[in-house]
């Protein structure tokens, strides 16, 4: 069994100092539902020797809104607390819906929003126990999904060669809502938080997420989060759609549509947005938007079915 040193941080600056001290040998832990899976399975050769516990830092689990209407969600707020928060439900229901769709009740009670948006990919080649497949994501030379089992992998290509898919549900809602990620050193618009060409985030080695800020949505907006799974009660998304449009009736002037589970990073369905904006919501507009969402799809041998799901879910989100 790997020996791990555990340190309870007293503040964000204390945690950052510990990261600086131990460098690549250290990692932070909040809820830990992703990290403990990696540690138990020895899925990487470079797993940390030091864990810096963030749960001992006061205030990182707070959820509040300010006078300007911005929602502030602490990075250690659990998914369950977000899903059940009255303020979130009233004004940002898509975020509550996405949080409520993550995994199982037990995981939602432990897992945090910061961990959910920054979790590692769940490709089975990446997650195979004992680091059996040294894939591209781990610095190897092969994406085993390309010629292997790829029914759950990217249908929008593999930038830099990786065909894994983004797993976070809450990230899709936050992207559609135009949120920002606040860290120990900067504020990052969430559409800049994920690498453009490969799985992962732009977080630096000594950078810690402290909160998520979500702006007030437009008046009369429509928010929808939809997720299609193999097993409805707890699985990762085959496809997820986050949609925020305004106004909900009449000519749509604002449309943000993001997709999860279909590419190495969350992707914006810009074609679908264009098909929706400038039109009133109708079955024809929804169908056209669904078709536009998959115009650039390049599925692998075993995942063509995903394009039909994407098209159907985008259309359904618009008509919901």
What pLDDT score does 299 carry?
98
The answer to whether residues 243 and 310 touch, using CB atoms and an 8 Å cutoff, is no
Instruction: Kindly tell me the burial class for residue 284, based on how many C-beta atoms sit within 10 Å of its own C-beta (0-12, 13-18, 19 or more).
Output: exposed
Strands 180-183, 50-53: parallel, antiparallel or unpaired by DSSP?
unpaired
End-to-end Cα distance, the chain: 50
Classified as helix, coil or strand, 209 is: strand
Q: Which residues make Cβ contacts (< 8 Å) with residue 119, sequence separation at least 6? A: 34, 167, 168
What pLDDT score does 281 carry?
97
What pLDDT score does 41 carry?
93
What pLDDT score does 1 carry?
65
The token pair that represents 46 in the structure block? 């470079």
What pLDDT score does 139 carry?
87
Q: Which residues make Cβ contacts (< 8 Å) with residue 74, sequence separation at least 6? A: 59, 60, 61, 62, 63, 113, 210, 211
pTM for the model = 0.97
What pLDDT score does 231 carry?
85
For the chain, helix (H) and strand (E) counts, in that order, are 12, 12
Q: Half-sphere exposure (CA, 13 Å, Cβ side) for 42?
A: 7
Spans in the chain with pLDDT lower than 50: none
The token pair that represents 306 in the structure block? 């995903």
For 53-87, b where at least 16 C-beta lie within 10 A, e where not — what string? Answer: bbeebeebbebebeeeeebbbbbbbbbbbbbebee
What pLDDT score does 197 carry?
66
């Amino acid at each position: 069994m790997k020996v791990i040193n555990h340190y309870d941080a007293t503040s964000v600056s204390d945690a950052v100092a510990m990261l600086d001290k131990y460098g690549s040998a250290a990692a932070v832990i909040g809820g830990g539902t992703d990290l403990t899976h990696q540690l138990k399975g020895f899925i990487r050769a470079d797993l940390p020797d030091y864990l810096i516990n963030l749960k001992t830092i006061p205030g990182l689990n707070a959820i509040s809104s300010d006078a300007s209407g911005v929602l502030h969600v602490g990075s250690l707020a659990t998914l369950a607390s977000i899903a059940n928060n009255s303020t979130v439900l009233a004004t940002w229901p898509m975020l509550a819906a996405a949080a409520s769709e993550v995994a199982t009740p037990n995981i939602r009670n432990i897992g945090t929003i910061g961990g959910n948006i920054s979790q590692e990919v769940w490709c089975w080649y990446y997650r195979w126990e004992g680091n059996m497949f040294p894939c591209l994501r781990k610095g190897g030379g092969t994406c085993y999904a390309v010629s292997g089992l790829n029914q759950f992998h990217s249908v929008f290509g593999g930038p830099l060669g990786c065909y894994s898919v983004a797993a976070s549900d809450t990230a899709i809602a936050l992207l559609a809502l135009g949120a920002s990620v606040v860290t120990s050193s900067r504020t990052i618009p969430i559409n800049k938080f994920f690498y453009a060409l490969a799985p992962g985030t732009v977080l630096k080695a000594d950078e810690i997420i402290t909160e998520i800020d979500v702006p007030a949505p437009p008046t009369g907006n429509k928010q929808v989060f939809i997720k299609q799974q193999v097993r409805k009660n707890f699985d990762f998304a085959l496809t997820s759609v986050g949609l925020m449009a305004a106004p909900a009736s009449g000519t749509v002037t604002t449309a943000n549509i993001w997709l999860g589970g279909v590419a190495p990073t969350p992707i914006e369905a810009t074609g679908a947005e264009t098909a929706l904006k400038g039109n009133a919501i109708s079955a024809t507009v929804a169908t056209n938007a669904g078709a536009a969402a998959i115009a650039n799809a390049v599925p692998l041998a075993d995942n063509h079915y995903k394009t039909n799901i994407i098209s159907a879910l985008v259309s359904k989100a618009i008509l919901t």
